[in-house]
Structure formats: structure tokens, C-alpha cells
Amino acid sequence: MNEQVLQTLGRTFGAANVGTLRPRFDAAPLPMVAPSSVEGFRAALELSRANRWRVLPVGLGSKLSWAPAPGPADFVLSTWAYAGVESYEPGDGTLTARAGTTWAELSARVAVGGHALSPDVPRPKGSTLGGVIAAGQSGADRLRHGALREHVLGLTYLLSDGTLGRCGGRLVKNVTGYDLQRLFAGSHGTLGLILEASLRLFPLPEQEVLASWRAPDRGSALAAARRLLGPELSPWSVVLTAHGAEWTVHARLAGRAESVAAEHQALERLLPGARCLAGEAAGPAAQELRDSAFGEIDGPRLVLQVRPSACAVALDVALEALAAPQFRDSCTPQWRCEPGLAVIEAALGARAHDPGLLAALTDSLARALAPLSGAVRLLHAPEGMPTTAEAGAPSAGLALMRRLRRQLDPAGTFEAGRFLP
Amino acid sequence: MALSAAARRELDRILGPRGVVDGAVASLAYESDGLALIRGTPEIVLLPRDTAQCAAALGVLAAEGVPVVGRGAGTGLSGGATPVSGGALVGMARMRDVLELNLQDRFARVQAGMVNVDLTNLCAKHGLFYAPDPSSQQACTIGGNVGENSGGPHCFKYGATTRHVLGLVIVTADGQVLDLSQPRLEPDGYDLVGLFVGSEGTFGLATEITVRLTRKPAAVETLLAVFGDLDGACDATSDLIAERLEPSAIEILDRLTIEAVEQSVFRAGYPRGAGAVLLVEVEGSETEVATTVRDVTRIARARGALEVRSARGESERKKLWAGRKGAFGAMGRIAPDLYVADVCVPRTRLKELVLAATRIAAEKRLKLSNVFHAGDGNLHPNISYDRRNPDEVERVLAAGREIMELCVAAGGSLTGEHGVGLEKREEMCLVYGDDDLAVMRRVREAWDPARRMNPGKLLPVRGCREARGASLPRRAAPDHAPQAHGGSGR
């Protein structure tokens, strides 16, 4: 750890207020400050400018290994201590809060007024508002509510030069000025620090049902999912999970009590023999299903996205690729597939840590899936992976993205080698 | 800057004789969009047939340093397509093809000049539709909708254009083609597509658009709740939102609008003499529709609805909506011109702000009608006037500004769906500070360093501090003063 950085931060923020954070599970710890005021963030950025230090912005740091590895940063600037709800407007269905507020806290707050947040993120206690937006994370309810970026109504952000800016607003409909919130959502902290955000809220479901059905084989599981995704139901999620060759179909219904009751009947017809949990009993099981996405850091996680019509083919391709002799010994994939969104995930297991092998895997999958509009990402990639083989390496618009980054962060303070090749 | 003779010859060669228009036709047909109070004259009008032609033409214009204004059907209401800086106007009128219709994955890739309603008509037989439905959907183009991030009544449930755009092909200021047309669940890198939608032509020209198609719901019901006055309709809307009901559209029409519609070809059967009607559409499964209809009816009655009824069958449903969407056209019966204000307010404050707008218009001796997307808090206080009366024009503009200021002060926004354009450019300082706008300028420069794309739109010309010191001008200065001229705003 850089002692000079540690001492300088200590002098400005008080030694007791400087902690450390490992930017990735396999990296050395960095000094970290977590200011609780805008002035504090400004002071930290002023230090970074004066010393030409690179800053790694984080919330609670749970999604740092979703994007390519941060490059050499000098300290971590966390928003976790900048927390609290600014305003919750139950009559208008909107929420504005500081970036460090956890998703769990926000959910609890709006539930009082009968509202729910979207995305329904995994492990909400360890996720902050700013972190979820910066990571562009969508949740278990995406099938019903769409992507996170569609629900961010406005932002307050701090650029590395100290500019405190605002975009959008707190209204559910608004076209005043550029939608910079769309630029910040999913930018992994490379453009600026998100300090505050406003979200559109959704009705808290009155009732839910979680159905699961063990399929005799993968083909039947996919066919069942297709039936559930037809016009008769509008589920929150339809997920397939696999343990070995055994596939289970999970469907979550949620909404107004009468609608869910009617959908429940339809579901029993569409998925005969399914085991259904309703009401309070559905809660923990639904949570478990939700939290199985982008799981704990148990090794690299492969995420494939294709067009929905190509989901079955892509699953075949991925299964076949991982069954190849060179991967069979090191990868113990746990599969998860959302056919409605055409997202396929494979947790590869702790033994899958050879960067060369993983790069070969992602490259070959990217080539195979390209004709299906496929995209391949590797979350929690081990150190030493070539960046291009990692998460979301963009193909088109790269020069423009670099110009955007230069405009907002000319000194490259937040760049930390991340995100764009 | 004038085009050189060589550049002109090159444009003729690229676009062919039907692709280049100039002289009197260009200056008359393309001098403004739906905001007819402000006009400009393009030096030349270019009508490319495809992305390649558009890119080649923009390459020529880049070399000449000529400003470029994009235009869909010219139905915009904020002056976004008005060529106030001269230069070249690039129209999408000859780019109307469907390039791909993917029924399985429910998306379409279309050229930017495709008319909004044509897309919905095209996929109707497959049980699909394109959700954003501006009132001008019979004429407006998908490309124009992308530029403005257009809304419409059903955006209450489905969201504005930005939620339905999956990909774009963009021709940038220097004539390069940026192909972001692959419909992906997550963007590769920054969300350039999301950033582009609503940029009002200041980043580049979208030439091809990949849009999401939505499955038609199993059941639809359209409710008409009749109120003695506007207050009851506004209160009922606030209650619907507070109870977290999810119809697909919640619209209000006031007395004057009802009268105008009922006297026009758009006659929908709204009860004459009613103070206001609340038009609510509910879509979804049979059960979902039945329960929501029950709750909407209960709320409307509790707020004093004189009558709540469902449309009897598809033809009456269509008629009720044709009346709503034809309302702006029907206003032509009241006065030759219509100023359509467009502001958004918190949905807890609908009644108060609608009332305030009425008061402001009355004080200025203006005729105000209201037809608006109540569910989204998107007000359209419409002022009927005659542009040949300069004093009335002054009062209209003053009232428009006063309404806007009041709504912003109440936590509202400058525009809900019509865009900033020329009309509200200087008023951006009401909601943003110099720093916010400086960042927007920096973002714009990343796309168009020479600032040739739609110059003079969206971002204020002067700094806010400076403008506030000098007190804001009433309106973005038009190149041409309001003048007597046929045609009306929307």
C-alpha cells in the first residue's frame, strides 16, 4: 500500500477515517476514504488532482469484478457513508436518495407506502444505490419491469474536476436536456461519482407465488419456459437452473392478489406437477432464486446474452464448449438461464482460474455466438485476463466512448484502466 | 456559410435530382416545424434514400463547415427542426423502409422516416404493436420520435420512446456511420443509444432504428369518466397514482376541448356540457383488467364522476381515442393558431397547477383549453390565438412562460415530451445551473466537436448567471418575427 497516499488522506480526513479495501478478491488492499458530505468528496478529488492520483470510486465494492479489472489506483473513494433518503413521494411514486444508501434500506422505506424498487437486486444489504446504477445492474424482475436504466429519473454527480452536476429530475416523465443518467448507468464509475439518484417506483406486490418444476431433461425445461412466457402469464421471472444434468424450472408470479390467483391457476395448467409456494412461504424461496444470479464470488462467472429465439441454441453451444476436455477438469459449471431475457449464466467454480484458458473460452464463445447477436461477459475474472476477453468490451463506438470519457474526466482520474480497452 | 459550387455538384451526384431541393420550395416547405412562430430558411434541403447517401452527404457538408438540421415529418412542437442557422436541412421523407421485421424476437429495424402509425399497422396482424403513440402518430416519424424522445398517452404504462429503442445507426457530423443497431439486452460499453435518444439532432442523425415491438394485451377496456369540472378529474388521477393502479393511459380533456372535438370530424361522443372527461385505458389479462376497471370506477365515483362507462366494443374505443388524438387539430375551430405548452409536474399537484394555468390565461385574456397526459403529470395547457395579432402573440408567449415558471417552481420540468428545441432553450436555466449545462455541452462536443449539428438548439446560448443578470429573454430570439402565415401549430 502506498504510505504517502495513506498519510496524506489521514491528514485531510483524520487517520481514523481512512480504511482499506481490496478492489478485487485477488488484489492488494488500497487506502479508502468514505466522506459523508459533498465537501468531503471534493476534498478527496482535490487531493487526487494535486497529486495526480488515480481514484477508484465504489459503493460497498460488491460489483468491482463485474467490469474489467481496475488498473493501478491510488485510493478508493467510497460513497457508502453518504447515505439517506432525500425524499420519498408515495403520491407520486418516486424516490430520491443519496448514493450510499443500501438497496435494502431503500426497499424497506418505500414498502411502507406500498412501493417496490426495481431492479429487485440480489443481496440488497450489500448493494448501494450508487453502486447498482454505476454497475448497470438489472434485477430478478427485469422480465416484468425492464432494465434499471429505464427507471433512473435523474442524478447528481461529481466530476473529477470538482464540478457538481445534475441531470434529469424527480419526475416520471421529463425530456429536459440530455439523458446523462443513461450515460452514467452502467459506466462503472469511469465518468464521475454518482452522489444522488431519483428512481421511479413500482407497486409492491400484494401476493406472490413461486413455482418450481423438475424437468426430465433440458429440452422439456426450455419448452415449459416457453409456455410460461406465452401470452397467458406475465411472470416476474422465469429461471432455469441445473445441477449436473438435472434442470429445474422456476417461475415467480407477483402482483395484485386477484391477478396472481388467476395466473396461479393458469400456471398449474401450463406446468402440471409444479410445486407451488404462495404468500409468505414464497418469500424466502424467491429471494434465494434471486440471489443465485451473479452469485457470491465463487470463481469466474460466464454471462451470455443472445436473442431470445436463439437461447436454446446458445445454451447448447455453451454446454458443449464447457464439456470440452480442456475445461472439464477445471470448470464445474452451475447453470442458470432466463429464457425470456435470453441470459445464460455459468458459475465456473473456484478451480477455474487459469487466465489463458478462460480467455480461450470467452473468445471461442464470442465467435460462436456472434451470428446470434451474442455477447459474452466474464464476471469475477482472475487477474491477468486480457481486457478484450472480459466484460463488455465494446466493438462499435469505441472512439466516441473515449471522447466522452475525456470530456468528463480529462485527467483520467477515474479511469483506472477500466472498462474500455 | 454558403456551399461551394463543387460541393453542390457533389451533393447532386450523391443524392440524385429528387434528393436535393433548394430555392423557394426549400424556404417555404421547410422553414419551420409545428412551432410556427419561429422560422428559418435552409440553404439547401437534402433528402437521402439510405444511410450511405446520408453519410456521403454529411461528409460533403462537413468539409464545407455547413450546419446540419435533421427533420422527420416536421410535427415537432419546440422548433427542433427549424433551420435557424441556415445550412442544410436533411429530411427523412424518402427513408421509409422496413429493413427487418423479427416477429420471434419482437423487434423491427426501420429507416428513420417511417411514419409511427405505419409501423403499428404493419405488425398489427401479428398481434404486435409499437407502443409510443404521440398524438401526431399519423404523420410523425420514428426518427423524429428518437430525436425528441416522444411520448404519447400510452407512455403511462409503456414508457416514452427511449424504452423502446433497442439500437440505432447514426451518421455523425463528419459523415461517419456508427452502427449500434444490434438489439442487445445490455449495451457494449457506455449506453450510447440511450444517450442519443432525446438529443434533438445535436449529436448526429439517426438513419436506422431498431425498436421493440410489444405484444398486444389479452384484454383492453377503455373507460370514460364524466366530471362536472376539471378538479374532480385531476383529483381522481392523483388518487389513481396514489393507489398505485396501473392502467395503460390516463388522459384528461376539459370542457373547451370536448366542445371543439365534438364539433369536429373527430367527434367521439364525449358528453357535451361536461366539465371534463377522464379517459382511462386498462390493458392486461382478463382478471387484471376487471379488477383495475373496478378500482378506477370506484375512485372516479368517489371524486364526483357523474357517469363512468366503458367503451362498447372496438369501434367506440377507437372513436374515443381518435377524439383524444384529434383534439389538437380540432382546436383549429377555436382560433387559427394553437400554442401547445408542455410541462410535467408531480402528480400530487395536478389540480393546483391546472388551476393556476387557467388563472394565468384568464388574466391575460387568452382562451385556454386542457388536454393532457394526466397519469404522467404531463400538462398541455393549450392557448388558442391568432398570430396576425401581435399583441395577442405577446400575451401567449408571456402566459406560456409564466406557466412554465410556475410548474418548475412546483418541482416540475420544462418539457415532458416535446423537447427543448428553440422554444425553451433559454429557459433551461430555470431547471439547470451553468455547471449542469457546461457538462451537457462537453458531452455534445464529444459527438460533434465543431457544433454543426442542429446549432442553436437545446442548450442556452448565454450562461445562466449572465442571462439571469440581464433577466431572461422571453423566448429564444427567432430569426424572423412572428408573421402572418397560413397553417397552424398543433
Check: CB of residue A178 under 8 Å from CB of residue B197: no
B450 touches chain A (CB under 8 A): no
Output the pLDDT for position A418.
Answer: 65
Nearest to B188 by CA among A305, A295, A132, A310: A305
Q: Between residues B473 and A95, which one has the greater pLDDT?
A: A95
Residue B305 sits in which domain range?
219-330
Distance CA A359, CA A375 (A): 14
Distance CA B270, CA B258 (A): 6
Q: Does one domain contain both B37 and B82?
A: yes
What's the mean pLDDT in A49-56?
A: 95
Residue A392's pLDDT band (cuts 50, 70, 90): very low
Is a pLDDT exceeding 60 seen at residue A48? yes
Residue ranges of E strands in B125-272: 128-129, 165-172, 177-180, 204-212, 214-215, 219-227, 249-254
Nearest to B440 by CA among B423, B457, B418: B457
Q: Does one domain contain both B313 and B365?
A: no
Question: In chain B, what residues touch A171 (CB-CB under 8 Å)?
Answer: 344-346, 377, 411-413, 416
Distance CA A307, CA A313 (A): 10
Question: In chain B, what residues touch A261 (CB-CB under 8 Å)?
Answer: 287
Cell reading at B217 = 394485451
Distance CA A94, CA B242 (A): 11
Is a pLDDT exceeding 50 seen at residue B356? yes
Q: Does one domain contain both B318 and B367?
A: no
Residue B289's pLDDT band (cuts 50, 70, 90): very high
Where does a domain end: B215, B238, B267? B215
Encode pLDDT of B34-66 as tens digits.
988 889 999 999 999 999 999 999 999 999 999
* Residue A324 falls in which region: left (phi positive, over 0), alpha (psi -120 to 50) or beta: beta
Around Cβ A329, how many Cβ atoms within 10 Å? 9
Is a pLDDT exceeding 90 seen at residue B12? yes
Rg of chain A over CA atoms, in angstroms?
Answer: 22
Nearest by CB to residue B178, choosing from A93, A261, A400, is A400
Range from A347-356, B118-127, B308-317 carrying the lowest mean pLDDT: A347-356
Check: CB of residue A255 under 8 Å from CB of residue A207: yes
Is a pLDDT exceeding 50 seen at residue B69? yes
Distance CA A206, CA A199 (A): 21
A85-89 and B214-215 beta bridge pairing:
unpaired
Nearest to A30 by CA among A49, A12, A9, A51: A9
Check: CB of residue A252 under 8 Å from CB of residue A202: no
Question: In chain B, what residues touch A89 (CB-CB under 8 Å)?
Answer: 346, 348
Judge: A149–B191 Cβ closer than 8 Å, yes or no: yes
Cell reading at B299 = 375512485
Q: Does one domain contain both B455 and B340?
A: yes
Range from A261-275, A378-392, A395-409, B428-442 carrying the lowest mean pLDDT: A378-392
A91 touches chain B (CB under 8 A): yes
Fold of A85-203: 3.30.465
Q: How far is CA A43 from CA A5, A11, A37, A50, A268, in A?
A: 14, 12, 10, 11, 59
Residue B479's pLDDT band (cuts 50, 70, 90): very low
- The CATH code of the domain at A301-379 is 3.30.70.2740
Q: Can you spell out the DSSP letters for A95-152? A: EEEETTSBHHHHHHHHHTTTEE-SS--SSGGG-BHHHHHHHT---TTHHHH--GGGTE
Where does a domain end: B330, B355, B390? B330
CATH number at residue B33: 3.30.43.10
Total count of domains within chain B: 4
Encode pLDDT of B379-402 as tens digits.
999 999 999 999 999 999 999 999
B429 touches chain A (CB under 8 A): no
- Mean of per-residue pLDDT scores for chain A: 91
Which residues are paired to B225 by β-bridges? B278, B308
Gap from B149 CA to chain A (nearest CA, Å): 7
Question: In chain A, what residues touch B80 (CB-CB under 8 Å)?
Answer: none
Check: CB of residue A185 under 8 Å from CB of residue A129: no
Nearest to B82 by CA among B455, B482, B472: B455
Output the pLDDT for position B488.
Answer: 34
Output the pLDDT for position B490.
Answer: 36
What are the sequence ranges of the domains in chain A?
Answer: 85-203, 207-236+245-291, 301-379
Is B475 contained in some domain? no
Chain A contacts in chain B segment 49-78 (CB below 8 A): none
Output the pLDDT for position A389.
Answer: 45
Nearest by CB to residue B149, choosing from A147, A165, A175, is A175
Chain B contacts in chain A segment 2-41 (CB below 8 A): none
Gap from B273 CA to chain A (nearest CA, Å): 31
Around Cβ A298, how many Cβ atoms within 10 Å? 14
Helices B286-302, A257-270: inter-axial angle, 10-degree rounding: 170
Encode pLDDT of A179-220 as tens digits.
999 999 999 999 999 999 999 999 999 999 999 999 999 999
At position B23, the amino acid (one-letter code) is G
Check: CB of residue B320 under 8 Å from CB of residue B222: yes
Phi then psi for A368, rounded to 5 degrees? Answer: -70, -35
Question: In chain B, what residues touch A114 (CB-CB under 8 Å)?
Answer: 244
Range from A380-389, B93-102, B165-174 carrying the lowest mean pLDDT: A380-389
Is B481 contained in some domain? no
Nearest to B176 by CA among B71, B299, B55: B55
Distance CA A305, CA A184 (A): 22
Is B474 contained in some domain? no
Gap from B25 CA to chain A (nearest CA, Å): 32
Is a pLDDT exceeding 70 seen at residue B470? no
Is a pLDDT exceeding 80 seen at residue B377? yes
Whether omega before A119 lies within 30 degrees of 0, making that bond cis, reads yes
Is a pLDDT exceeding 80 seen at residue A70? no
Output the pLDDT for position A417.
Answer: 55
B146 touches chain A (CB under 8 A): no
Q: Does one domain contain both B200 and B291?
A: no
Residue B358, SS3? helix
Is B414 contained in some domain? yes
A307 touches chain B (CB under 8 A): yes
Which residues are paired to A247 by β-bridges? A215, A242
Residues B398, B399, B400, B402: is their CA dihedral positive or negative? Answer: positive
Output the pLDDT for position B477.
Answer: 39
Fold of A207-236+245-291: Alpha-Beta Plaits (3.30.70)
* Residue B175 falls in which region: left (phi positive, over 0), alpha (psi -120 to 50) or beta: left
Output the pLDDT for position A420.
Answer: 65
Cell reading at B4 = 461551394
A159 touches chain B (CB under 8 A): yes
What's the mean pLDDT in A385-399?
A: 63
Check: CB of residue B70 under 8 Å from CB of residue B454: yes
Q: Does one domain contain both B209 and B255?
A: no
Residue with cell 440511450: B194
CATH number at residue B236: 3.30.70.2190
ipTM comes to: 0.96
Range from A229-233, B202-206, B294-298 carrying the lowest mean pLDDT: A229-233
Q: Does one domain contain both B413 and B388?
A: yes
Encode pLDDT of A136-186 as tens digits.
988 889 999 999 999 999 999 999 999 999 999 999 999 999 999 999 999
CATH number at residue B110: 3.30.465.10
At position B139, the amino acid (one-letter code) is A
Distance CA B397, CA B389 (A): 13
Q: Return the H-helix or E-strand segment holding B409.
A: helix B390-409
Distance CA B56, CA B207 (A): 13
B241 touches chain A (CB under 8 A): yes
Q: What is the DSSP letter of B362?
A: H
Q: Can you spell out the DSSP letters for A193-243? A: EEEEEEEE-EEPPSEEEEEEEEESSHHHHHHHHHHHTSTT---SEEEEEEE
Q: Can you spell out the DSSP letters for A305-366? A: E--GGGHHHHHHHHHHHHTSHHHHTT---EEEEETTTTEEEEE--TT---HHHHHHHHHHHH
Distance CA A340, CA A230 (A): 10
Output the pLDDT for position B278.
Answer: 98
What's the mean pLDDT in A30-43?
A: 97
Residue A318's pLDDT band (cuts 50, 70, 90): very high
Distance CA B430, CA B439 (A): 16
Encode pLDDT of A237-269 as tens digits.
999 999 878 999 999 999 999 999 999 999 999
* Residue B23 falls in which region: left (phi positive, over 0), alpha (psi -120 to 50) or beta: left
Q: Are domains A207-236+245-291 and A301-379 of this chain identical in fold?
A: yes
What's the mean pLDDT in B316-343?
A: 93
Output the pLDDT for position A16.
Answer: 92
Q: Does one domain contain both B339 and B449?
A: yes
What's the mean pLDDT in A13-41?
A: 91
Output the pLDDT for position B223.
Answer: 98
At position B464, the amino acid (one-letter code) is C
A177 touches chain B (CB under 8 A): yes
Judge: B149–A183 Cβ closer than 8 Å, yes or no: no
Residue with cell 442571462: B467
A231 touches chain B (CB under 8 A): yes
What's the mean pLDDT in A108-132?
A: 96
Residue A27's pLDDT band (cuts 50, 70, 90): confident
Around Cβ A366, how many Cβ atoms within 10 Å? 17
Residue B187, SS3? coil
Output the pLDDT for position B487.
Answer: 32
- Mean of per-residue pLDDT scores for chain B: 93
At position A203, the amino acid (one-letter code) is P
Encode pLDDT of B190-202 as tens digits.
999 999 999 999 9
Residue with cell 398570430: B387
Q: For the purposes of burial, counting CB atoms within 10 Å of the CB of B63, is it exposed (0-12), middle (13-18) or buried (19 or more)?
A: middle
Residue B334, SS3? coil
Distance CA B462, CA B414 (A): 18
